[in-house]
């Protein structure tokens, strides 16, 4: 039986390395695209559980982001509502990939220019070679406002779902919107 493991945090790039794009540069890019975004500061958050405790009354859909690779070495950014049940053993069929596993922190850094705990669709700003396929959960896209880390996990940025799509496309990606993660879904 296959087991899914999360990469060891010791594989992470040095915290001394500067981000390829700073949060301020990201927010400036959003503004240049005419995208309104509200950013809230908070202590660093690495998990959904920590986020639930500290987010207060931030409006909108709260999300989790999975950076994955398949056995053919294709990389995937899967974005879903925080409480979505995502079964990696079945997600491949829902998104049309080969068998999936979590990608290493080194791959996260080389493909999206961020560290573990800060995974976000906003990091697509750093995927200039378009090496990552993007999958957005259909149920998540039903929310008008969505919340993500702006490349660092001590802030949360709220963005309108249509603006998220516009940003992703401006980064050169065409996201797949897929039904998964619900009680009756395949994955």
Report pLDDT digits (tens) over 38-93: 998 887 776 667 666 666 667 899 999 999 999 999 999 999 999 999 999 999 99
What pLDDT is stored for residue 146 in this prediction? 97
- Whether residue 184 lies inside any domain: the answer is no
0.75 exceeded by the pTM? yes
CA dist., res. 76 & res. 174, Å (int): 12
Mean pLDDT taken over the chain: 88
Mean pLDDT is lowest, of 3-17, 112-126, 135-149, for 3-17
Taking the C-alpha atoms of residue 53 and residue 44, their distance in angstroms, rounded to an integer, is: 12
Assess if residue 144 is contained within a domain.
yes
- Going by pLDDT thresholds of 50, 70 and 90, the confidence category of residue 9 is very low
Phi then psi for residue 63, to 5 deg, are -125, 160
Cα Dmax for the chain:
49
Q: Domain limits at 123?
A: 42-178
Q: Is residue 21 part of a domain?
A: no
Question: Could you give the number of structural domains in the chain?
Answer: 1
Is 16 contained in some domain?
Answer: no
Give how far Cα 26 sits from Cα of 10, 35, 37, 46, 101, Å: 27, 11, 11, 20, 28
Question: Which residues are paired to 157 by β-bridges?
Answer: 39, 148
Q: How far is CA 147 from the centre of its chain?
A: 10
**136: burial class by Cβ within 10 Å (0-12, 13-18, 19+)?**
buried
Q: Is the pLDDT of residue 3 over 80?
A: no
CATH assignment of the domain containing 106: 3.90.960.10
Q: For residues 43 and 23, what is the distance between their CA atoms, to the nearest angstrom?
A: 15
Backbone angles phi, psi at 102, to 5 degrees: -70, 140
129 in any annotated domain: yes
């Amino acid at each position: 039986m296959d087991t899914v493991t999360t990469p060891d945090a010791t594989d992470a790039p040095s915290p001394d390395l500067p981000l390829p794009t700073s949060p301020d540069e990201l927010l400036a890019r959003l503004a240049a695209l005419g995208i309104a975004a509200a950013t809230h500061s908070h202590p660093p958050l690495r998990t959904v559980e920590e986020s639930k405790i500290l987010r207060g009354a931030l409006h909108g859909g709260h999300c989790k982001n999975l950076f994955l690779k398949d056995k053919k070495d294709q990389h995937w950014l899967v974005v879903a509502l925080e409480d979505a049940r995502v079964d990696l053993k079945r997600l491949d069929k829902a998104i049309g990939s080969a068998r999936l596993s979590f990608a290493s922190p080194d791959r996260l850094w080389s493909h999206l220019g961020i560290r573990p705990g800060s995974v976000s669709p906003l990091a697509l700003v750093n995927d200039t070679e378009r090496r990552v396929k993007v999958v957005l959960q259909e149920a998540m896209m039903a929310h008008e406002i969505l919340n993500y880390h702006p490349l660092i996990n001590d802030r949360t940025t709220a963005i309108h779902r249509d603006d998220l799509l516009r940003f992703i496309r401006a980064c050169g990606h065409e996201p797949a919107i897929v039904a998964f993660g619900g009680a009756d879904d395949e994955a």
